[in-house]
A and B are shown apart, each in its own frame.
Chain A
Amino acid sequence: MPLLRSTSNMSKVSRCFVSLGKQCRLNSTTTSPPADGHLPSVASSELLRTKRDSSLRTPGVIWADKDATAPPRIALGGRETRKMNTYQAIRDAMSIALSKDENAVVFGEDVAFGGVFRCTMGLAEEFGRERVFNTPLTEQGIAGFGIGLALMGHTAIAEIQFADYIFPAFDQIVNEAAKIRYRSGGSYNAGGLTIRTPTMSVGHGGLYHSQSPEGFFMGASGLKIVIPRSPVQAKGLLLGSIRDPNPVIFMEPKILYRSAVEQVPIDDFELPLGKAEVLVPGSDLTLLTWGTPVYHCETALHLLATPPPELDSIIPSSLRLSKIELIDLRTILPWDVETVIESVNRTGRLVIVHEAGMTAGAGAEISAEIQKRCFLKLNAPVRRVTGWDVPVALQYEKFHIPDAIRVLDAVMETLTY
């Protein structure tokens, strides 16, 4: 009766979770958590490319400064990297876009001063206030204005200060940006538009500062949605998004702005849109996620393989050797169906993790497609680990957001189904 066993496992995991939570609370009375929130697994993540060599060998890198006809360069000599956190890498990408494309402009609320998350720090000084400028507080206006710029062939890099504020711009994005190519029979397009916006939780953002709205845009064909997990990814994917001939919403997990640090190539490079990346290969279960939860998933895999004493008794030794394949989806629309299918056909199990609520979240679409395409290969139902179907309330944020324990629980249940 594997189901029964796993249920009893769960209650034990839950209890442990409670006791771990109590420990946290005790700690928090003596040492306060950092203002930017807690995500202890990021600093020590093995997924981050902290060495020059591994950074330069990031899979899928397309060096944008290379002559396309030249033979591929195996040796990476001559290329340099610099230590950057995510906001610095994003700033670096915009700096490259602005210097290489004289029609590129950056605008949004307070961006001339660097923006609330410092992603545009110094860009106004470097490129002039005519190209990097503050807008009024007008999200719908920012989106519409960016579409107009893009219709004229400009490269519009707009910032919506928080992804939660994107809803006033929803009409412009869904009805105008996404459809203009189609409804003008290809005469016009908003391909030059990229909307950057900080997304996901920060630990204490609450109702209007911690939402993950990517799922709301899933039905808007014509748009692309990209969510990077790290500085290298952010730079490459942002440059890829800015140059992609379609409007792109580029959502930046705000808790990773400072906490994720990598060696980032200083040259101009892109990472491909619409391609997932297999971070950890495996054969027993596919764990699919994007953005901040990538690191919770990594932690969950560590907990499974080498449980701490608190969890030791409830993780069967048979599960500890499981080979879990961890995939970062990176582009949410259009998502990389092939990579996920290929993986699930090998593993027979899929767990999807995202911060947005479960009902009609991006995981629902992925899950439906995979159940159709991999039906006969599945050994367990596709499982989703997500935020609950409630607003992201201030004081419950840590309970709301899927963490390593919840991911671990879902992985164990799916493995033992």
Chain B
Amino acid sequence: MASLARLRHIKRLAIPRAAFQVRSVQTTADTTQLHNKPDDVHTGAPMTVRLHEDSFKGYNCEIPDLEVQITKDELLEMYKQMQTVRRMEMAADALYKAKLVRGFCHLAIGQEAVSVGLEHGITKTDRVITAYRCHPFAIMRGGTIRGVIAELLGRQDGMSHGKGGSMHIFTPTFFGGNGIVGAQVPIGAGVSFAQKYLGEKTCTFALYGDGASNQGQVFEAFNMAKLWNLPTVFVCENNKYGMGTSAARSSSNTDYYTRGDKIPGLQVNGMDIIAAKRAVEYARKWAVDDEKGPLLLEFVTYRYGGHSMSDPGTTYRTREEVQRMRSTQDPIRGLQKYIEEWGVATEQELKALDKEAKAEVDQAVEEAKQSPEPQSVDLWSDIYYKGTEPPRMRGREREEVG
């Protein structure tokens, strides 16, 4: 009678909270220091900044150089992009609450430093694949806000013609959102094999969350990538909660950057966009220039909202925790502080960028709303390659219905 109830006294599920925090990198968004600034940043000359010494933790690898060269233009571009993708997610939130967006919708508000930082560290021909919370990546990889919103609305102008919805958005270098978390990771390994085979000087960033990190397929992909020395950068976006279960309650090892066995790993402050960019550059050099095979990046980040729109996000964590993260570690406010303190731009100039982002999103939402519903012919299109469809597909014609 080995009832599990007998285990009650052992309390093996209790995880010491402090130990978890000790292991984490810094997740402050505003601790990067200006090191060296040219006399006039407005000429486009780069300034030198120094990341907080706890921005990274390495596992079987050196941590990246903490000194980063960055220009005024890039800082402002990052700021504008983060504001834009956050505005877009907020618009999606409002459209969902107005019941115009149906279906499942997962927002990445709070995690902007990862999606925008990733894009600033890679090239246009690198590939990216993820699962849920894919909207910002789609935008950064060449998608349009209008296309994303129209997809959520299920309209013809949606990036998948309204057939997919939130987790089904693709661009030529972005292999999408995917509906089964974890399933995208071996796909990413396959994509990077092709890159290597073709001799492309590119790599694939295969993203997954702390929740999906426990799917068996993720480990299968690790093994293949290391075995064949593929240019795959596995990226764990650790936002601390896999749906409603905290990392410590789902994962025996919450140091996700160490879970690749022989694959070295790097834990990164995912709330400081400059640290994120630096880590991505480092990973890209590792996989592509140095041909050292796969690397595992873990971005420690935070999602402000619930897992999906139907999750208030406050049953498994406190409102205070969310509020604290928002007020003290917000990636956009962190960057804003850098920009203002380093004299890159004034508050007024940033406000103008905020306005531009808002106007851009508002216009895209209006355009998306104008897009018509899909045509009925699209119900059967793109199931098989055009011209090779089976002669009968039930549902198209009257005589095929019965």
Contacts and interface: CB of A to CB of B under 8 A. Distances in A.
A130 B163 contact: no
B395 A137 contact: no
Interface residues of A, number: 58
Given A390-B395, A391-B383, A399 B164 contact: no
Interface string A350-364: 000000011100000
Q: Most chain-A Cβ atoms within 10 A of its Cβ — which of B163, B211, B383? A: B163
B8 A128 contact: yes
B229 interface: no
A390 B13 contact: no
A362 B160 CA distance: 30
A137 B216 CA distance: 10
Given A35-B310, A207-B179, A134 B104 contact: no
Interface in A25-42: 32-33, 35
A396 B1 contact: no
B251 A136 contact: yes
B164 A110 contact: no
A334 B7 CA distance: 37
Interface stretch (B43-51, B325-333, B371-379): B371-379
A229 B291 CA distance: 57
Nearest to A103: B3
A109 B104 contact: no
A153 to B, nearest CB: 9
Interface string A162-179: 001101100000000000
Nearest to B102: A204
A203 B5 CA distance: 40
B103 interface: yes
B13 A133 contact: yes
B86 to A, nearest CB: 24
B164 A207 contact: yes
Contacts of A138: 214-216
Given A105-B4, A113-B244, A388-B395, A168 B162 contact: no
A298 interface: no
Secondary structure of the A side of the interface?
Answer: loop
Contact of A113 (B103, B183, B315, B373): B315
A131 B164 contact: no
A367 B358 CA distance: 57
A140 interface: yes
A395 B374 contact: yes
Interface in A377-408: 381, 383-384, 386, 388-391, 393-396, 399-400
Contact of B379 (A103, A140, A388): A388
A209 to B, nearest CB: 6
A112 B249 CA distance: 11
B212 interface: yes
Contact of B373 (A136, A383, A395): A395
A205 interface: yes
Contacts of A129: 13
Interface in B82-109: 98-99, 102-104
Nearest to A7: B398
Given A113-B315, A207-B168, A168 B183 contact: yes
A140 B216 CA distance: 8
A312 interface: no
21 contacts: A105-B4, A109-B245, A116-B310, A130-B5, A130-B8, A130-B13, A141-B216, A165-B180, A168-B183, A205-B104, A207-B165, A208-B167, A208-B179, A209-B103, A358-B395, A384-B402, A388-B394, A393-B163, A394-B164, A396-B374, A399-B379
A168 B184 CA distance: 12
A395 B251 contact: no
B221 to A, nearest CB: 14
Contacts, number: 149
Contacts of A369: none
A345 B211 CA distance: 53
A394 B162 contact: yes
A95 to B, nearest CB: 15
B18 interface: no
A413 B1 CA distance: 59
A134 to B, nearest CB: 5
Given A109-B245, A131-B4, A388-B394, A206 B104 contact: yes
B212 A137 contact: yes
A126 interface: no
Interface of B: 1-5, 7-8, 13, 98-99, 102-104, 154-155, 162-165, 167-168, 179-183, 211-212, 214-217, 242-245, 249-251, 310-311, 315-316, 373-374, 376, 379-380, 383, 393-396, 398, 402
Given A102-B5, A137-B250, A393-B379, A33 B243 contact: no
A128 B250 contact: no
Interface in A84-142: 102-103, 105, 109-110, 112-113, 116, 128-131, 133-141
A224 to B, nearest CB: 25
A410 interface: yes
Given A141-B214, A205-B104, A390-B379, A130 B165 contact: no
Contacts of B13: 129-130, 133
Contacts of A396: 163, 374, 379
B11 to A, nearest CB: 9
A110 B99 contact: no
B103 A206 contact: yes
A112 B315 CA distance: 11
Nearest to B153: A395
A400 B168 CA distance: 19
B250 A136 contact: yes
A417 to B, nearest CB: 10
Contacts of A140: 215-216
Contacts of B182: 137, 168
A110 B242 CA distance: 9
A152 interface: yes
B179 A164 contact: yes
Contacts of A203: 102
Interface in A258-278: none
A384 B394 CA distance: 11
Given A109-B245, A110-B243, 20 more contacts: A7-B398, A103-B3, A113-B244, A129-B13, A137-B181, A137-B215, A137-B242, A138-B214, A138-B215, A140-B216, A154-B4, A206-B165, A208-B167, A388-B380, A388-B394, A394-B102, A394-B154, A395-B154, A395-B374, A399-B376
Nearest to A14: B398
Contacts of B98: 32
A10 interface: yes
Contacts of B379: 388, 390, 393, 396, 399-400
Nearest to A110: B244
Interface string A150-164: 001010000000001
Nearest to A168: B180
B104 A102 contact: no
B343 to A, nearest CB: 45
A137 B103 contact: no
